[in-house]
Amino acid sequence: MEGLEEAHRRLARIPLLQVTLNEPLWRHTRFGLGGPAAVFASTGDEQAFLEAVRTARAAGVPWVLIGMGTNLIVADEGFAGIVLRYDGGRIEIRGERAAAQAGAPLQSLVDATIEAGLQGYEPMTGIPGNVGAAIYGNAGAYGASIADRLVRVRYFDGEQVRETDGAGCGFRYRESEFKRRRLAGEPWLVLEAEFAFPRGNAEEMRKKAEEILAIRNRKYPPEMKCAGSIFKNLLWDRLPERARQAVPPEMVRGGKVPAAWFLEQAGAKGMARGGVRVSADHANTLYNAGGGTAADFCALASELKRRVRERFGIELEEEVQYIGFREAPK
């Protein structure tokens, strides 16, 4: 593609940007599957990143931003465009506030706040990925989410660097304005964010974080090639009557029903397609048991959706993000 070749030449001239051709994306995803990115460019320098985004946009070729690849399913054919990654990872604690660049691991932010005795993010210990992607997907666990303490985000709308506050991020469960903009084809890219916290007891927070990490490591052993929960939990007030009647009251927590419950009823545990399996312990965890392909993943996800649709009349929606597919599995 001529536009892509020209874009590659321009990207290669941007100082501090690392550019490679035909970069295997399975290396950049925890699921460990997916074909190559035609062009892959990464940098920890904000100006180089902005220049790379401008270049990709101007070339009129497909492009996408990834983070640490822990929530991605990449097509076996790969991505016939430009894959960008921003690695700027500075974290600063200023009094009761913390500031983090988008490429900083979320865990480093959580650790820094615990260390400083700033309370609120300790339940998010162990969520993999970076701060930018956590804002994009409003990541959270055990009753906390990134939305809780965020007060300011600096982002790039493709033309200008702008700022917004927490309200401007339009956070909902695993949703944000950043995700909506990307799905609408006009992504807003997080550059940096600021968070404000009440003071807490660092020792108690550390203890809570350790307990949570132990639970998480049992659920998702560090070597498991997976993407966390595949499908979003279901909002109780949006469920059709047929599904509501089936759900035991104790499964409704915080207005949501775990997708895992529906999947388990549908016989998901232990199912497999090729090298991709459903965990025997958690029906909403799919993993690459070795040699898995994106086609295996899609076949399995599609079968799971079909079973839950037929049994409960509900449409499961992915929490994972697809790259390089024409459409998500039905």
Ligand X SMILES: Cc1cc2nc3c(=O)[nH]c(=O)nc-3n(C[C@H](O)[C@H](O)[C@H](O)COP(=O)(O)OP(=O)(O)OC[C@H]3O[C@@H](n4cnc5c(N)ncnc54)[C@H](O)[C@@H]3O)c2cc1C
The reply on whether position 132 binds ligand X by CB under 6 A is yes
> Which residues on adjacent β-strands are paired with residue 318?
231
The reply on whether position 273 binds ligand X by CB under 6 A is no
Residues acting as catalytic residues:
174, 229, 319
Query: Of the listed pieces 16-24, 41-49, 124-132, 268-276, which binds ligand X according to CB under 6 A?
Result: 124-132
The reply on whether position 137 binds ligand X by CB under 6 A is yes
Q: Which of 72, 93, 109, 230 binds ligand X (CB under 6 A)?
A: 72
Nearest CB to ligand X, comparing residues 4 and 34: 34
With CA atoms as reference, report the closest residue to 70 among 113, 129, 110.
129
> 102 in the Ramachandran plot: left (φ > 0), alpha (ψ -120 to 50) or beta?
alpha
Structure tokens at 225: 């090639």
> Which residues on adjacent β-strands are paired with residue 141?
144
The reply on whether position 67 binds ligand X by CB under 6 A is yes
Query: Of the listed pieces 91-99, 127-135, 251-259, 300-308, which binds ligand X according to CB under 6 A?
Result: 127-135
Three-state secondary structure of 266-288: CCCCCCEECCEEECCCCCCCEEE
Residue 98 three-state SS: strand
Query: Of the listed pieces 17-25, 50-58, 222-230, 247-255, which binds ligand X according to CB under 6 A?
Result: 222-230
Query: Of the listed pieces 8-16, 35-43, 70-78, 292-300, which binds ligand X according to CB under 6 A?
Result: 70-78
Minimum CB separation of residue 222 from ligand X in Å reads 8
Q: How many residues bind ligand X (CB under 6 A)?
A: 31
Structure tokens at 238: 């949006």
Site string for ligand X, 201-220 (x = CB under 6 A): -------------------x
Minimum CB separation of residue 43 from ligand X in Å reads 12
DSSP-assigned letter for residue 226: B
The reply on whether position 110 binds ligand X by CB under 6 A is no
Q: Which of 66, 74, 239, 286 binds ligand X (CB under 6 A)?
A: 66
Nearest CB to ligand X, comparing residues 126 and 298: 126
Nearest CB to ligand X, comparing residues 42 and 119: 42
Site string for ligand X, 156-195 (x = CB under 6 A): ----------------------x----------xx-----
Nearest CB to ligand X, comparing residues 19 and 68: 68
The reply on whether position 8 binds ligand X by CB under 6 A is no
Nearest CB to ligand X, comparing residues 243 and 283: 283
Binding site for ligand X (CB under 6 A): 30, 65-72, 86, 102, 127-130, 132-134, 136-137, 139-141, 178, 189-190, 220, 226-228, 321
